[in-house]
Amino acid sequence: MTVRLYDTKAQAEADFVPLEEGKVGMYVCGPTVQSSPHIGHLRSALVYDLWRRWFTYRGYDVTLVRNVTDIDDKILVNASEHDPWWALAYRVELEFTAGYSRLGILPPTYEPRATASIPQMQEIIQRLIDSGHAYAAAGDVYFDTASWPAYGELTHQKPADMVAAGDADPRGKRAPQDFALWKGRKDDEPTDASWHSPWGEGRPGWHIECSAMSRRYLGPAFDIHGGGLDLRFPHHENEIAQSTAAGDPFATYWVHNGLVNVEGQKMSKSLGNSIFAAEFLELARPIVVRYFLGAAHYRSTIDYHEGSLVEAEAALERIEVFLTRAGRRLDGTRFAGSGVEIVP
């Protein structure tokens, strides 16, 4: 039976056809480690854990890459003299890892940090400049969206209808939609948060990080690119533009998971309704949390409300009772991988 998935770019279901027979190369946008993980982060990681397990069950050899963005504007903003950016990033990364582990999410094949692939990012940026798709200005480097007619192909937007890219100082931009590939260091930023480059001291833009890391660990062409629904624009739109403009085929399929709402509202700092992973995992058994986050279709929105985990507990208990009875009938057979040990 053919594996089918919904391809965001095609806006349709598609039969999965691997680039290499029997293998799956999957890149998933991991966390920007600026602050503690919330339940939306857990849901996204779980979705691709389930995809990985399903492909493995179907006989594929899966290479899953999930990155860690450990240098970013928000990380620098949240850092302090007593909690430097690199220490903050590492501490928060450990929080994400702990949450994934408690939920039974398998470690990815590779989990690269952005700061370990700076040379690869600079190489792509230089290719874009050389091919006329990027330009240096005032210490920054921007992707020239007007130079790439396919820009907008993932989210099916016209550049004129897009919001201005707010990921860098617009001091040298030719157009509001142009986005940063390299950001020149500012005087108020720590010196150790910048790297040497042909364009001056600075650090990479957010989008170029994933293009470089996916290419480094999966090659210029790979099967699936995944991430949360909120990453379609601008992050994934910019990724596909810069990678293909640089000459890489990039991802064949684009998969996006739905988000998690709280009492019918999107989680946000302004509403003060974010539910953090550590506290959420204390409300019920981890397997109950996993059931709650994984029971709905991966593309749907989950709404958490008071009583959600009680309902999930009851549903899981029915499954556990069934497995217990089945195990007894089968003379104490243990159901491998179910997460439930059957005792006759």
pLDDT band at 332 (very low <50, low <70, confident <90, very high): low
Averaged pLDDT, 149-173: 89
In this model, does residue 335 exceed pLDDT 70?
Answer: no
pLDDT for 95: 98
pLDDT, averaged across the chain: 94
In this model, does residue 50 exceed pLDDT 60?
Answer: yes
| Weakest mean pLDDT among 77-81, 184-188, 266-270 | 266-270
pLDDT for 270: 74
Averaged pLDDT, 112-137: 98
Calculate the CA 167 to chain-centre distance.
18
Q: Which helix (DSSP H) or strand (DSSP E) does residue 86 occupy?
A: helix 85-102
Averaged pLDDT, 285-300: 97
Cis peptide before 234 (omega within 30 of 0): yes
pLDDT for 273: 87
**Exposed e or buried b per residue across 292-328, where buried means at least 16 C-beta atoms within 10 angstroms of its C-beta:** bbbeeebeeebebeeebbeebbeebeeeeeebbeebe
In this model, does residue 341 exceed pLDDT 50?
Answer: no
- The single-letter DSSP state of residue 170 is G
Give dist(CA 123, CA 251) in Å, integer.
19
Give dist(CA 75, CA 88) in Å, integer.
8
Cα dihedral sign for 41, 157, 299, 54? negative
pLDDT band at 333 (very low <50, low <70, confident <90, very high): low
pLDDT for 334: 54
Q: Which two tokens stand for residue 328?
A: 């007894």
The alpha carbons of the chain give a radius of gyration, in whole angstroms, of 22
On whether the CB atoms of residues 138 and 170 are closer than 8 A, the answer is no
Q: Is 42 helix (H, G, I), strand (E, B) or coil?
A: helix
Give dist(CA 163, CA 175) in Å, integer.
11
Enumerate helices (H) and strands (E) in the chain, giving the number of each. Answer: 9, 13
Percent of the chain with pLDDT over 90: 87
Give dist(CA 236, CA 44) in Å, integer.
15
More confident residue, 327 or 126: 126
In this model, does residue 338 exceed pLDDT 70?
Answer: no
In this model, does residue 314 exceed pLDDT 90?
Answer: yes
Q: Is 179 helix (H, G, I), strand (E, B) or coil?
A: strand
In this model, does residue 169 exceed pLDDT 90?
Answer: no
pLDDT digits (tens, 9 = 90+) for 193-243: 999 999 999 999 999 999 999 999 999 999 999 999 999 999 999 999 999
pLDDT for 329: 85
Nearest to residue 118, comparing CAs of 208, 189, 180? 208
| Weakest mean pLDDT among 14-28, 163-177, 201-215, 324-338 | 324-338
| Weakest mean pLDDT among 54-63, 124-133, 160-169, 277-286 | 160-169
Q: Which two tokens stand for residue 85?
A: 């950016």
pLDDT for 342: 37
Residue 134 identity: A
pLDDT digits (tens, 9 = 90+) for 240-265: 999 999 999 999 999 999 999 999 99
Q: Is 227 helix (H, G, I), strand (E, B) or coil?
A: strand
Q: Is 256 helix (H, G, I), strand (E, B) or coil?
A: strand
pLDDT for 192: 96
The domain covering 4-115+206-262 belongs, at the CATH homologous superfamily level, to HUPs (3.40.50.620)
